[in-house]
Structure 1
């Protein structure tokens, strides 16, 4: 009897898997009728999120962020640059988003992922326009020297909501960032003081100790799928690939009240779609 039940269970699992592969949208919609998703989440529930700071020892700031299986590694390296004449008292931030072939079966070796430049631009627009970082904080010597912060984000596992996880890792990396100590040499150039120098400086330091970068706000985002009359928060890669409309909303210091407002906006958007 035990072997018969085992054989029956296996056969049922194979039938369900075959149905899911052949008719993925119908498979998901049958779950939505019960107000549940294929991973057993309620429609509005996001996946578990985790953060680990200092994931890259050689970086000035770094973080590993996970939303469900979606995994992002963010690292920041600081370099001294000459500021532009238009902004002599400001530093600069350069952001690159990378999707290596290991992150997803749809990313092929030797071919750039289509989503990479889109996410990279979204990150730049969000971080620079949110006012989260005051670029004047990156200034060293007016008109002569400022910090260039190179932020690289690597997608290690692309299982949906890429921008949400990438932004989370970027904010965490900036919160972990320590700005190095620098001094002026005999030529008047800014020199980064390494730990091997033991704090011995020939010239007075421009900044006397490592310091944290002040964040005036904290930016988050929430990606949702609008499918018929359903709202699915924090979609997986499978859900994104088969459903109708994807919407990402950027928020600053997300609160419960803001979540309610976001829900109202999404409901209004669905009503407008049904009217059209």
Structure 2
């Protein structure tokens, strides 16, 4: 290739990049008209997804998930609590997106400034909490240890390591994966009648105290929820948008389904009113397809952990 060709290619690349920065909507509309996206995906295709369980050794359950470049690290810790008088046979779940605790660092996105929490953090935190509880994924009675006296409190922290769009989808996937990996610690009663953790080394409690749960067991999940965010522009539906696409589009729909295919919730923050029910139906259909893909990825990760 001659020098003139190299200069010509670089010049063309610079022109495309400048057009993309100066006129982002027109840049995307040119791609949409050809049913393709700048990253090579079709309009209704999600990005490559991966799940790695057991990413945090000190946690009772953890997972590192990636959807494209969007990366989430979820870690669940369990503590013994006194159940409320209204629900003596139930435990509790405290689900928080860690940015609420200022754990969403500025390196995860150019939109997050140092020393300031991301504005989207408490919104996603509330969405996660509502979704996990309303989906019925976790039977709170399974968290009971001693009726009326002791139950498990589950703390879930989710660290956003790279924010490149579809943050709620990635956060929810990391939460479900962490709960799939979660194991109940072994506890026993001490002389004062309080529950204490039994060290993992050794077989059981060497002190002779009554062991409440004799072995670490998995948390049973019932129809875990999965979600897909779609960006809407004119007559186009873009599944799993990147942060650049989110900055260009103004209307978004996030559909949450459980593994049985039933609708758990539907979020539509801002944007014009949707008058066509077919758009919502298309988004739900895309979510069902996406749910099957993600469920297979999660099942493979769980199977790999069991083999190890």
CA distance in 2, matches of 1:33, 1:80: 56
Is 1:237 aligned with 2:248? no
Matching residue within 161, 172, 177 for 1:172? 177
Matching residue within 107, 114, 117 for 1:112? 117
Q: 1:244 to 1:128 in 2, by over 3 A?
A: same
- The structure with more strand, counted as a fraction of residues: 1
Question: CA offset at residue 198 of structure 1?
Answer: 4.6
Matches within 5 A, 1:113-262: 113-196=118-201, 198-199=203-204, 200-253=206-259
CA distance in 2, matches of 1:237, 1:268: 22
Question: CA offset at residue 201 of structure 1?
Answer: 3.9
Output one character per residue of 1:201-226: Cα deviation in whole Å (capped at 9) or x when no partner. 42121111000000011210010011
The aligned counterpart of 2:14 is: 14
Q: 1:211 to 1:265 in 2, by over 3 A?
A: farther
Q: 1:266 to 1:225 in 2, by over 3 A?
A: farther
Contact (CA 8 Å) 1:183, 1:201: kept in 2 or not? no
Q: Helix, strand or coil: the match of 1:7?
A: helix
Question: CA offset at residue 187 of structure 1?
Answer: 1.1
CA distance in 1, matches of 2:114, 2:278: 37
CA distance in 1, matches of 2:140, 2:207: 27
Question: CA offset at residue 47 of structure 1?
Answer: 0.5
Contact (CA 8 Å) 1:164, 1:220: kept in 2 or not? yes
The aligned counterpart of 1:267 is: 279
Matches within 5 A, 1:38-77: 38-77=38-77
Q: 1:240 to 1:158 in 2, by over 3 A?
A: same
Contact (CA 8 Å) 1:103, 1:158: kept in 2 or not? yes
Q: 1:59 to 1:9 in 2, by over 3 A?
A: same
Q: Structure 1 stretches of 5 or more lacking a match? A: 259-263, 271-276
Q: 1:116 to 1:215 in 2, by over 3 A?
A: same
Question: CA offset at residue 83 of structure 1?
Answer: 0.8
Output one character per residue of 1:35-77: Cα deviation in whole Å (capped at 9) or x when no partner. 1111111000000110000000000000001000000000001
Q: 1:177 to 1:7 in 2, by over 3 A?
A: same
Question: CA offset at residue 139 of structure 1?
Answer: 0.6
Output one character per residue of 1:240-276: Cα deviation in whole Å (capped at 9) or x when no partner. 1111201100011166x99xxxxx9552579xxxxxx
Aligned residue pairs total 264
Q: Structure 2 stretches of 5 or more lacking a match? A: 99-103, 264-275, 283-308
